[in-house]
C-alpha cells in the first residue's frame, strides 16, 4: 500500500507524492525530489534538515515525539509546536492524506 503525502512549500506550491508503507516520509520526500528536504544525515536522526511543520489537524494523529527527535528539533530552523522530523514518521495507511509544510530553510 501507499499513502499520499502533500508537501506545501513556503510559496504555497503544493506537491502530493505517494510513499510506500514502511518507508519514512523523509525517504519519500528525497526520492521525489521535494525541495527543502535536505536529509543530510540520511535518516539517522542526527540532524534536523528534514524538518517540516505538520498540518494541525494531523499533528495529534502521529506517533509521539521521542526524546532524541525532540532534542534535534531544538536546532531546527524556527521550530513550532507542530514541528516534526520527517525521518521519524514511518508511512502507514493511517498517514494517507498527511499534509506537511516545508520551512523556508533548513539549518
Cell representation of residue 70:
525532540
Domain presence at residue 106: no
Domain limits at 29?
2-101
Of 82, 86, 32, nearest to 57 by C-alpha is: 82
Residues in CB range of 3: below 8 A, 6 or more apart: 18, 19, 21, 91, 92, 93, 95, 96, 97, 98
**Residue 24 DSSP code:** B
Q: How far is CA 4 from CA 67, 69, 77, 95, 101, in A?
A: 27, 23, 26, 8, 14
pLDDT tens digits, residue range 25-56? 999 999 999 999 999 999 999 999 999 999 99
Residue 89 falls inside a structural domain: yes
Q: What residues of the chain score a pLDDT lower than 70?
A: none
pLDDT value, residue 107? 78
* pTM (2 d.p.): 0.95
Instruction: Give the chain's domain count.
Output: 1
Cβ atoms < 10 Å from Cβ of 23:
17
Q: Does some domain include residue 15?
A: yes
Please report whether residue 7 resides in a domain. Answer: yes
Looking at residue 104, what is its pLDDT? 95
Are 50 and 73 in contact by the 8 Å Cβ rule? The answer is no
The set of residues, in sequence order, having a beta carbon less than 8 Å from that of 12 and lying 6+ positions away, is none
Amino acid at each position: 500500500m501507499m499513502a499520499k503525502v502533500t508537501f506545501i512549500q513556503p510559496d504555497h506550491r503544493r506537491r502530493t507524492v505517494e510513499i510506500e508503507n514502511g518507508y519514512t516520509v523523509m525517504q519519500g520526500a528525497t526520492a521525489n525530489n521535494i525541495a527543502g528536504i535536505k536529509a543530510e544525515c540520511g535518516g539517522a536522526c542526527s540532524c534536523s534538515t528534514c524538518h517540516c511543520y505538520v498540518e494541525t489537524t494531523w499533528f495529534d494523529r502521529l506517533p509521539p515525539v521521542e526524546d532524541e527527535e525532540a532534542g534535534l528539533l531544538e536546532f531546527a530552523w524556527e521550530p513550532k509546536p507542530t514541528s516534526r522530523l520527517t525521518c521519524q514518521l514511518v508511512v502507514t495507511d493511517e498517514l494517507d492524506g498527511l499534509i506537511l509544510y516545508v520551512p523556508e530553510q533548513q539549518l
